[in-house]
Chains A and B, each alone.
Chain A
Amino acid sequence: MARIVVDPITRIEGHLRIEAVVENGVITDAFSSGMMVRGLEIILKGRDPRDAWAFTQRACGVCTTVHALASVRTVEDAIGISVPRNAELIRNIMEAALYVQDHVVHFYHLHALDWVDVVSALSANPQSTAGIAQSISNWPKSSTGYFKDVQKRIKTFVESGQLGIFANGYWGHSAFKLPAEINLLAVAHYLEALEWQKEIVKVHAIFGGKNPHPNYLVGGVPCSINLNEVNAINSERLNHVAKLIKDANTFVNQVYIPDLLAIAGYYKDWGAHGGGLSNYLSYGDFPTNGYNEPTSFKIPRGIILNRDLSQVHPVDTKNADEVREYIKHSWYKYGDGEDAGLHPFEGETEFNYTGPKPPFKNLDTNGKYSWVKTPRWKDKAMEVGPLSRVLIAYASGSTEVQDIVNATLKKLDVPVAALFSTLGRTAARGLETVLIGGWMQGFFDDLVANIKAGDTTTFTQEKWEPSSWPKECEGVGMTEAPRGALAHFIKIKDGIIDNYQLVVPTTWNASPKDPNGQRSSYEEALIGTPVANIDQPLEILRTIHSFDPCLACAVHLYDPEGKHIHEIKVV
């Protein structure tokens, strides 16, 4: 029996540590630990609720816009503000642009190298790669000369001795199954995606004034619409957005999806690994008729239990019996004791570090072992993220989701059960990118139609002044961040923040066990996963990366050591 430690496991934003026990080549137990302390809540207490978005969006450099969005929705929910139609559309466009950028970057820059062997790409025949590229897509950059040039560029970079961005790969691992030619195709698109993502994020600067960390506003969006005004959202800027959306969707449909399917075809066995939990949660998002009408959301809200796709259960985040956070295995203290579960309105953030003094070899996983709290819905563990969203939309009867999912299963020739897996999670992310990209175009068309009809309102002043607010009120701002269900909870008293809690997607997925000993998504998904070579636990990376882990907002302080430790202890 061997105990493997991978720390950190993420390529960006925050430190996540996984300890896994391997017996006879299969993982039999796993522990997921966020190694940085959480405490944004402390900074927010006592502040003006209308400013909270500016602080919460600093929790993370990747999903800044969703934290700002969750925050303004929280305040609007608490004090009872409905935003104008144009504000809803602009917020949707900004969020959709984030999704498309984030999912493409996740696929190529954070996850693909778990499946694609960069070094093998150096020995590919560029002519064969060109043949494959032309057979799966109309994307114009597909000539032999193009792939030759890419190969040369990678070679020069690798030969310079500066592996840098590619440094942590397990190149040559027996679990890499792609032919050299497809490895080259994927590496070429890794580079193209670097260039591509520079464009789509401009949508945030156009509507939010700047990037990173665009501006948000309680009651609407902080941009004015005037087709002929230089400093407003004018015809020129709208034309620019139209082009950005069109180009983004072309890349998704002609590069991302064909690559995803081509790569998935060689890894169908991963349709049987990494499934983990059987319960799925989505708060829903992309409202089309106001935040208070979830039935109008493009991504539906709901819960699936035991993988039963015939029934979608309702979710009420304000109900203290539904959403609760536990700290039995987390470095916090609750007034009501170790086994208590608190609804976020009553959430407490008191640190209680009992772990070993770094540097250390192993955590005591019988006791507290993470800075991440453990959220539960009716005391059940839930997976959140693209797979949850796609399954809930599928089970809710969304025909566009059913059509794209069924067509993909057919193309890959895999059973429906393959959805509940590492492969299914990675595929779901790609499929929802296609849909969200299409909706983004729709939101934009609606915005333009509204403006043409004379509606240029982007903000409501009603209830801007704290004097118009109730003396005490509370609200929840729910979103679906690219990584999953995200909610901010606020209590306002006398116009200032009395309590503020964030329950972020990676908290649902990466948390330690609850007081009943139930595992959360990461830990459960690793059970039963084969590990061919314990010195190179590539399989652990595949499953954990399929969740797109981002601990930056789950925990908010940072371990000074950034190096990649990977240790094996035979016990």
Chain B
Amino acid sequence: MTNILVLGIGNILLGDEGVGVHAVRQLERENLPEHVTCLDGGTGGLILLEPMQNADKVIIIDATLDGGAPGTVRRLQPRFSNDYPKALTAHDIGLKDMLDAFYLTKKIPEVVLFAVTVKNIDEVTLELSAEVEKVLPVILRLVKDELVV
């Protein structure tokens, strides 16, 4: 059985920046197959190496400021840190370094990243913007499609 980790990344104090955490919190309330684990990764870096390497496949939901329309969701398969989309906000170095750490420590799970384009973050708030709130169901559906192995 393939063990899948769904990892929501972001800082919920910064509005849209926390979209990954909001998504994973919603997802874990659903009835998920036994081989699926949900984790609110917060802005954690190295601390996430262990749960990521324990999985065969890691599905990351993260925020990006890539200049696109807010609410755009892109599916990416980054292999190295350089493949990680530019301008990931709160945690841009910590998490992408995990990808290199996989190679250096010789345990490499498959990584699928759903990068959600967020609005520029200029205030401290727990709320998502309307554009990003609206795509939460889309993100959840995309993630669930990924769970079928």
Residues on A lying within 8 angstroms of B by beta carbon are: 11-13, 39-40, 42-43, 55, 58-62, 64, 105, 109, 153-154, 157, 160, 162, 164-165, 191, 194-195, 197-199, 201-202, 210-213, 552, 556-558, 560-563
Extra contacts, 11 of them, besides A201-B50, A558-B90, A560-B87 (Cβ < 8 A), are: A12-B93, A58-B42, A61-B94, A157-B100, A157-B103, A164-B81, A212-B47, A212-B48, A557-B121, A558-B121, A562-B92
| Alpha-carbon gap, A105 to B96, bound state (A) | 16
| Alpha-carbon gap, A61 to B46, bound state (A) | 9
Question: Chain A residues with Cβ under 8 A from B48's Cβ?
Answer: 212
Chain B residue at smallest Cβ distance from A41? B124
Contact with A along B86-103 (1 / 0, CB 8 A): 111111111011011101
When the two chains form the complex, which single residue of A11, A199, A213, A556 contacts B124, counting CB atoms closer than 8 Å?
A556
Do residues A58 and B47 form an inter-chain contact, with CB atoms below 8 A? no
Question: Chain B residues with Cβ under 8 A from A39's Cβ?
Answer: 123-124
Question: Chain B residues with Cβ under 8 A from A64's Cβ?
Answer: 42, 44
Q: Does B125 reach chain A (CB closer than 8 Å)?
A: yes
- Within 68-109 of B, Cβ neighbours of A (below 8 Å) are at 80-82, 86-94, 96-97, 99-101, 103-106
What are 10 contact pairs spanning A and B, CB under 8 A?
A40-B13, A43-B13, A43-B126, A55-B13, A160-B80, A162-B81, A162-B82, A194-B46, A199-B50, A202-B50
Q: How far is the CB of B35 from chain A (nearest CB, A)?
A: 19
- Within 42-60 of B, Cβ neighbours of A (below 8 Å) are at 42-50, 53
Question: Chain B residues with Cβ under 8 A from A162's Cβ?
Answer: 80-82, 100, 103
When the two chains form the complex, which single residue of A165, A198, A562 contacts B87, counting CB atoms closer than 8 Å?
A562
| Alpha-carbon gap, A556 to B43, bound state (A) | 12
Q: Does B12 reach chain A (CB closer than 8 Å)?
A: yes
Do residues A58 and B13 form an inter-chain contact, with CB atoms below 8 A? yes
Do residues B43 and A560 form an inter-chain contact, with CB atoms below 8 A? no
Chain A residue at smallest Cβ distance from B122? A557
Q: Lowest 6 CB-CB distances: which A-B pairs, in order?
A: A61-B43, A198-B50, A562-B92, A212-B44, A164-B81, A164-B100
Contact with A along B13-27 (1 / 0, CB 8 A): 110010000000000
| Alpha-carbon gap, A43 to B86, bound state (A) | 28
| Alpha-carbon gap, A266 to B40, bound state (A) | 43
Question: Chain B residues with Cβ under 8 A from A563's Cβ?
Answer: 86
When the two chains form the complex, which single residue of B42, B50, B104 contacts A191, counting CB atoms closer than 8 Å?
B104
Residues on B lying within 8 angstroms of A by beta carbon are: 11-14, 17, 40-50, 53, 65, 80-82, 86-94, 96-97, 99-101, 103-106, 120-126
Given A164-B100, A194-B49, A194-B104; A60-B14 close (CB under 8 Å): no
Q: How far is the CB of B132 from chain A (nearest CB, A)?
A: 16
When the two chains form the complex, which single residue of A40, A195, A201, A562 contacts B93, counting CB atoms closer than 8 Å?
A562
Chain A residue at smallest Cβ distance from B11? A58
| Alpha-carbon gap, A332 to B46, bound state (A) | 33
Do residues A13 and B94 form an inter-chain contact, with CB atoms below 8 A? yes
Do residues B101 and A194 form an inter-chain contact, with CB atoms below 8 A? yes
Question: Chain B residues with Cβ under 8 A from A12's Cβ?
Answer: 45, 93-94
Given A58-B13, A164-B82; A561-B42 close (CB under 8 Å): no
Question: Chain B residues with Cβ under 8 A from A191's Cβ?
Answer: 104-105
Question: Chain B residues with Cβ under 8 A from A213's Cβ?
Answer: 40, 42, 44
| Alpha-carbon gap, A563 to B88, bound state (A) | 11
Do residues B13 and A211 form an inter-chain contact, with CB atoms below 8 A? no
Given A60-B43, A197-B46, A562-B92; A157-B124 close (CB under 8 Å): no
Do residues B86 and A562 form an inter-chain contact, with CB atoms below 8 A? yes
Do residues A13 and B43 form an inter-chain contact, with CB atoms below 8 A? yes
| Alpha-carbon gap, A213 to B10, bound state (A) | 12
Chain A residue at smallest Cβ distance from B9? A61
Question: Chain B residues with Cβ under 8 A from A198's Cβ?
Answer: 49-50, 53
Question: Chain A residues with Cβ under 8 A from B80's Cβ?
Answer: 160, 162, 164
Question: Chain A residues with Cβ under 8 A from B17's Cβ?
Answer: 558
Chain B residue at smallest Cβ distance from A199? B50
Question: Chain A residues with Cβ under 8 A from B120's Cβ?
Answer: 560
Do residues A212 and B49 form an inter-chain contact, with CB atoms below 8 A? no
Question: Chain A residues with Cβ under 8 A from B65's Cβ?
Answer: 560
Q: How far is the CB of B67 from chain A (nearest CB, A)?
A: 9
Chain A residue at smallest Cβ distance from B67? A560
Do residues B91 and A13 form an inter-chain contact, with CB atoms below 8 A? yes
Q: How far is the CB of A563 from chain B (nearest CB, A)?
A: 8
Question: Chain B residues with Cβ under 8 A from A561's Cβ?
Answer: 87
Interface centre among B45, B101, B106, B124 (most CB of A within 10 A): B124
Q: How far is the CB of A332 from chain B (nearest CB, A)?
A: 14
Given A55-B13, A165-B97, A201-B47; A43-B104 close (CB under 8 Å): no
Do residues B42 and A43 form an inter-chain contact, with CB atoms below 8 A? no
| Alpha-carbon gap, A210 to B40, bound state (A) | 9
Do residues B104 and A153 form an inter-chain contact, with CB atoms below 8 A? yes
Do residues A61 and B44 form an inter-chain contact, with CB atoms below 8 A? yes
Do residues B105 and A194 form an inter-chain contact, with CB atoms below 8 A? yes
Do residues B106 and A153 form an inter-chain contact, with CB atoms below 8 A? yes
Do residues B42 and A212 form an inter-chain contact, with CB atoms below 8 A? yes
Interface centre among B46, B50, B89 (most CB of A within 10 A): B46
Q: How far is the CB of A350 from chain B (nearest CB, A)?
A: 13
| Alpha-carbon gap, A206 to B63, bound state (A) | 29
Question: Chain B residues with Cβ under 8 A from A558's Cβ?
Answer: 14, 17, 89-90, 121
Question: Chain A residues with Cβ under 8 A from B41's Cβ?
Answer: 212
| Alpha-carbon gap, A268 to B125, bound state (A) | 48
Question: Chain A residues with Cβ under 8 A from B93's Cβ?
Answer: 11-12, 562
| Alpha-carbon gap, A199 to B46, bound state (A) | 11
| Alpha-carbon gap, A39 to B13, bound state (A) | 10
Do residues A562 and B13 form an inter-chain contact, with CB atoms below 8 A? no
